[in-house]
Amino acid sequence: MARTLTNTTVQVWAQFIRVEQELLDAVEAALKAAGLPPLVWYDALLELAREPSGRLRHRDLHPRMLLAKYNLSRVIDRMGAEGLVAREPIDDDARGAYIQITASGRRMVRRMWSVYGRVISENFASRLATSDIDDLGRVLDKLRPKRASTS
pLDDT tier for residue 82 given thresholds of 50, 70 and 90: very high
- C-alpha angle 39-41-44 in degrees, rounded to nearest 5: 115
44 burial via Cβ count (<10 Å: 0-12, 13-18, 19+): buried
Q: Is 71 inside any structural domain?
A: yes
SS3 for 6?
coil
Q: What is the pTM of this model?
A: 0.86
- The count of structural domains within the chain is 1
151 pLDDT more than 70: no
Q: Is 4 inside any structural domain?
A: no
Q: Is 89 inside any structural domain?
A: yes
The amino acid that residue 84 corresponds to is: L
Residue span of the structural domain in which 44 resides: 38-121
Q: Is 100 inside any structural domain?
A: yes
* Residue-level pLDDT at 2: 57
CATH number at residue 66: 1.10.10.10
- CA 136 – CA 128 distance, rounded (Å): 10
148 pLDDT more than 70: no
- C-alpha angle 52-53-57 in degrees, rounded to nearest 5: 115
Residues facing residue 85 across a β-bridge: 101
C-alpha distances out from residue 134 to 9, 17, 116, 128, 131, Å: 22, 20, 21, 10, 5
Q: Is 77 inside any structural domain?
A: yes
pLDDT tier for residue 52 given thresholds of 50, 70 and 90: very high
Q: Is 92 inside any structural domain?
A: yes
* Residue-level pLDDT at 1: 58
Flag the least confident range among 35-49, 85-99, 104-118, 129-143: 85-99
By DSSP bridging, strand 85-90 and strand 55-57 are unpaired
Q: Is 31 inside any structural domain?
A: no
Q: Is 14 inside any structural domain?
A: no
Q: For residues 97-118, b (16+ Cβ closer than 10 Å) or e, as one string?
A: bbbbbbeebeebbebbeebbee
pLDDT tier for residue 149 given thresholds of 50, 70 and 90: low
